[in-house]
Amino acid sequence: GAGVSQSPSNKVTEKGKDVELRCDPISGHTALYWYRQSLGQGLEFLIYFQGNSAPDKSGLPSDRFSAERTGGSVSTLTIQRTQQEDSAVYLCASSLVELAYEQYFGPGTRLTVT
């Protein structure tokens, strides 16, 4: 079946602009995660949605980052007033709640802030 999809695949934006990144999880997966991977760095957890519960925002790096998940499916990660240090690949993953451990990643969105 279809895997996790993300859009756009690439985004170039000017410093100070807002961006929205979209994630569509695997059908039937109720848990959704956002990570980012900076050049030469490991994957950094950002936020986690499980079903209709309030998200765990503990990993968001600043209040410029927010995320929502509508209807328990598609999620949008929004970065306001982007900074150059926000440049990274933003990865979304999903999992079955019952198998919350096994996460499957989408192809990512490469964000470049100029």
Of residues 14 and 101, the one with the C-beta less far from other proteins: 101
Amino acid at 8: P
Backbone angles phi, psi at 99, to 5 degrees: -115, 50
Q: Shortest distance, CB of residue 49 to other proteins, whole angstroms?
A: 11
Residues in CB range of 42: below 8 A, 6 or more apart: none
Q: Within positions 24 to 43, which residues make up the interface with other proteins, using CB under 8 A? A: 33, 35, 41-43
Pick from 58, 70, 71, 84 the residue near other proteins by CB under 8 A: 58
Least distance between other proteins and beta carbon 19 (Å): 19
- Contacts of residues 95-103 at CB distance under 8 Å and 24 or more positions apart, as own/partner, are 95/29, 95/31, 95/33, 96/28, 96/29, 96/30, 96/31, 97/30, 97/31, 97/50, 97/51, 100/31, 100/50, 103/31, 103/33
**Least separation in angstroms between CB 42 and other proteins:** 4
Residue closer to other proteins by CB (options 35, 65) is 35
Applying CB under 8 A, the residues found at the interface with other proteins are 33, 35, 41-43, 45-48, 50, 56, 58-59, 91, 100-108
